[in-house]
Amino acid sequence: MRFPSRWAFQVTRMNNCMNNFWILVALVCLAGCDQRIAPGPRANAEAVSAIRAKLTVGGAPAEGEAAAGGDTGGTESSGWATLSGSFKYVGTPPTPANVQVNAECSKHPVVNEAVVVSSDGGLANAVIFLRTAKPQVHADYEASSKDSVVLDNKHCRFEPHVAVMRAGQPLQVKNSDEFGHNTKIDPLVNSPSNAILPAGASANQDFPKEEQLPIKVGCNIHPWMGGWIVVRENPYAAVSDAQGKFTLKNLPAGRELEFQLWQEKPGFLKSVEVAGAPVKVDAKGALQAQARTGQGLGLGDLRAG
Amino acid sequence: MKGAKADTKGRFKLTIKPGTNDLGDIKVPAALFSK
């Protein structure tokens, strides 16, 4: 009977293999039980955050290397971005009108600052700010979150004419003139104030809450003096400079953000036209556009009206 | 898309991407200041 004997031989061989296998397993276990696994290198939390931030932007250069701080506000960003632009006055700009001032203010010419336009049409003192609630805020802003913002009574005008600050930052109202001023601030949400400031004096005011509208500032002693304070809950607000230019740094990229435009004369800029751009209008009339990285949005001109 | 308009309060929405994004010129007509 050849078949059974061969079969028996194969079974015996198989059993031997199995025995060898279990012996090997036992040896491995014995050897392994005596060994202690040395602890591997511990992850550096900061390095991990930095790497995650880099990976999040998909290889594109991020604005700064710090990870996000603050409230994530639901939708995560995919990196950081700078948004820049320029307000342009279309039409014949007004000639800055000299303001009639009293004797103590006559050392320096004072002009009406309601509409200030540069020689090339740049509109100064226009504001762009982020309306999106609780955006992710870049960590770089944390360091300046409690810094004082200075509003100076200087040469019978307010410097800056439009101040931008975050809720929680203290406002230092100064008087650099050689005579007295008062600074009347009438917020809608925060506490009003009317500091009497002798020459060289200063006073502080807190704005713990965001204001939906820019706050008017005035001086009753010198009634032509006027200024504005923009108080936002996030750091993403900017005032156009003398050439009409503005920059918002380290915005959360990759998510839809809503912005608003304001200038003291017309108030909120009622409508915006975008020429030659990949822009669509949603049901509420808000513009939506996909930005391109690097070379700019390519939105062309935004026409505000 | 020419002639697109934002709402009556100067609000507009953007999705910006990492890096530099330039809005270009925001053109404000003189008529707006005569009101």
pLDDT digits (tens, 9 = 90+) for B1-35: 233 345 567 788 888 889 999 888 888 888 888 86
Check: complex ipTM more than 0.95 = no
pLDDT for res A15: 57
Quote the pTM value: 0.72
Q: Which residue of B has its CA nearest to A56?
A: B18
Reported as a single tens digit per residue, the pLDDT across A194-206 is 999 999 999 999 9
Smallest Cβ–Cβ distance between A287 and the set B6, B17, B24 belongs to B6
Interface of A with B in 89-118 (CB under 8 A): 89-94, 115
Task: Give the separation between CA A259 and CA A81, rounded to whole angstroms.
Answer: 14
pLDDT for res A47: 54
Interface of A with B in 129-168 (CB under 8 A): 131
Task: Give the separation between CA A50 and CA A146, rounded to whole angstroms.
Answer: 25
Contacts of A264 in chain B (CB under 8 A): none
Task: Give the separation between CA A212 and CA A232, rounded to whole angstroms.
Answer: 8
pLDDT for res A287: 47
pLDDT for res A293: 40
Q: Which of A128, A260, A256 is nearest to B11 (CA)?
A: A260
Smallest Cβ–Cβ distance between A253 and the set B17, B24, B27 belongs to B17
CB of A247 less than 8 A from some CB of B? no
Contacts of B6 in chain A (CB under 8 A): 271-272, 281, 285-287
At A25, the amino acid letter reads V
CA A73 to chain CA mean position, Å: 13
pLDDT for res A271: 59
Closest-CA distance, B18 to chain A, in angstroms, reads 5
Q: What domains, with CATH codes, occur in chain A?
A: 71-267 (2.60.40.420), 270-305 (no CATH)
Task: Give the separation between CA B28 and CA A261, rounded to whole angstroms.
Answer: 11
Smallest Cβ–Cβ distance between A301 and the set B10, B19, B27 belongs to B27
pLDDT for res B27: 85
Which of the residues in chain A have pLDDT under 50? 1-4, 9, 11, 17, 26-41, 48, 50-74, 274-305
Contacts of B34 in chain A (CB under 8 A): none
CA angle A263, A264, A266 (to 5 degrees): 75
